Amino acid sequence: DAGITQSPRHKVTETGTPVTLRCHQTENHRYMYWYRQDPGHGLRLIHYSYGVKDTDKGEVSDGYSVSRSKTEDFLLTLESATSSQTSVYFCAITPSRDTDTQYFGPGTRLTVL
Amino acid sequence: GQNIDQPTEMTATEGAIVQINCTYQTSGFNGLFWYQQHAGEAPTFLSYNVLDGLEEKGRFSSFLSRSKGYSYLLLKELQMKDSASYLCAVYNTNAGKSTFGDGTTLTVKP
């Protein structure tokens, strides 16, 4: 299994509070991704990173920001959480853009009340 | 942009064969992935097709037709543990990322 962890695994928070989710990898892979998964919508890309301090927006980036100061860590921040951001968040890593085979972390279940 | 279609749900019987279809329209295409996702777990890689044709991997096979924008995942000798969601994803090298379909939930019954 790819060495990829997410923290926290579960979180309940209130509307308007900031939330940061962490993705940590031990594979030294260059490419990292954040997705959200909701019933009926599959996996939707929020942000992705091609390397340290090199990030770009995905299809559902509004209300989210990311940072990558080290190869192994990719942080996702909800600047002011809303109930519509209640979801399961998955981090993924891939070693190469040639194939983009992705390896997923265990997920974080976030509930915004 | 990308448009990926796959059936929402399928049901099959233990020991049988099931085919899960995926059609796509895309502005750039490099390859097509299939991932398996059990309830409450993360997706895991099953297959990656770049060229037309059938690729077999044990009980699972994946087919691609680039000209038709069509792929299928074939599961043989179904087992109860095959009950899961199956995600089709198209990789676009120009964009440098994959786009996922909404997934097909397969239920295997005794």
Say how far apart CA B90 and CA B3 lie, in whole Å.
9
What was the pLDDT predicted at A19? 97
So what's the pLDDT on residue B29? Answer: 86
Higher local confidence (pLDDT), A12 or B27: A12
Percent helix, strand and coil across chain A, each to the nearest 5: 5, 60, 40
Size of interface A-B (CB pairs under 8 A): 50
* Contact call for B42 and A58, based on CB within 8 A: no
The H or E element containing residue A73 is strand A73-78
Count of beta carbons in the 10 Å neighbourhood of residue B26: 18
Highest mean pLDDT, choosing among A50-59, A90-99, B73-82: B73-82
CA distance B67 to chain A (A): 20
Mean pLDDT of A78-98: 92
**Considering only CB atoms, which chain A residues are within 8 Å of B102?**
40-42
Q: Which of A39-53, A61-75, B50-64 has the lowest mean pLDDT?
A: A39-53
Rounded mean pLDDT of A27-37? Answer: 94
Cα dihedral A96, A98, A103, A104 in deg (nearest 10): 100
Q: What integer is the mean pLDDT of A38-59?
A: 91
Residue A2: pLDDT over 80? no
Give A8-23 as a 3 state SS string: CCEEEECCCCCEEEEE
Residue A1: pLDDT over 80: no
**Averaged pLDDT score across all residues of chain A:** 93
Q: Give CA–CA dist B33/B47, Å, rounded.
A: 6
User: What's the pLDDT at A90?
Assistant: 98
Residue A95 has pLDDT above 90, yes or no: no
Evaluate if residue A88 carries a pLDDT over 80: yes
Q: Chain B residues within 8 A (CB-CB) of chain A?
A: 30-31, 33, 35, 41-45, 48, 87, 89, 91, 93, 96-103
Q: Which residues of chain B have pLDDT under 50?
A: none
pLDDT band, residue A26 (cuts 50/70/90)? very high
Hey, of B102, B104, B105, which one would you mutate to test binding to chain A, going by the most A CBs within 10 A of its CB? B102
